[in-house]
Amino acid sequence: MIPTPPPNDEDQLRHHSFDGIQEYDKRLPNWWLMTLYGGIIFWVGYWAYFQWFHVGLTGPQHVEQAMARVEATRLASAPTADDPSLWKMSRNPVFVEAGRATFNTICASCHTEKLTGAIGPNLVDQLWIHGGKPSEIYVVVDKGVLAKGMPPWGPVIGAKKSAEVVAYILSHHTEGETIEVQTAWVPILPK
């Protein structure tokens, strides 16, 4: 039995050979071409999403964001008012954003949204009235200074929000910067 030859438009051998192998001159299958074109379209969309429009987060950005949330959860579970914890909170965007929202709600009326001071003192310079260490700032926010018109916010907003406000204030400063304490003159009353 003699096999029937293929039609003229299929299974034609190419005119060259390589290592003694001859190739057929066939079209690529449609499923293969659709996979290729789909991959190209996906690549263009992926590139535009991450590189051109900067909508999506890259791997390191995802990790950084997740680590910030973990650190925020860890620090929020037991907020301490010591200097190292408050400095860590000031570098965490979750705490800084929460502190900014609280600050703009209750503190901006006296200290302005830019922390430059109106009725209350300036909070972005290196000159502090009651000490510029994070723990001292926390005490002022938490306990207040009634003689100067600063109400105690600790009983109103709680320890966590007080720490967030301090973190927001500290985010405008760098750790280890020189702090000048302005001592207010207090008259000595006769006895």
Domain check: are 82 and 99 in the same one? yes
pLDDT over 90, % of the chain: 34
The whole-model pTM stands at 0.60
When pLDDT is cut at 50, 70 and 90, the band that residue 189 belongs to is very low
Domain check: are 163 and 87 in the same one? yes
Would residue 7 count as lying in a domain? no
Domain check: are 46 and 105 in the same one? no
Domain check: are 100 and 174 in the same one? yes
Q: How many domains would you assign to the chain? A: 2
DSSP string, 163-178: HHHHHHHHTTS-TT--
Domain check: are 98 and 123 in the same one? yes
Give the rounded distance of the alpha carbon of 148 from its chain centre: 35
190 has a pLDDT exceeding 70: no
Q: Which domain holds residue 48?
A: 27-56
Q: CA 147, 116, 81 angle in degrees (round to 5)?
A: 60
Domain check: are 51 and 69 in the same one? no
Which pLDDT belongs to residue 81?
A: 78
Domain check: are 166 and 93 in the same one? yes
pLDDT digits (tens, 9 = 90+) for 22-58: 888 788 899 999 999 999 999 999 999 988 888 888 8
Domain check: are 50 and 95 in the same one? no
24: helix, strand or coil: strand
Which pLDDT belongs to residue 155?
A: 92
Q: Which two tokens stand for residue 127?
A: 């000159």
Q: Which two tokens stand for residue 134?
A: 């994070």
Domain check: are 87 and 32 in the same one? no
Domain check: are 74 and 167 in the same one? yes
CB 81 within 8 A of CB 94: no
pLDDT digits (tens, 9 = 90+) for 165-179: 999 999 999 888 887
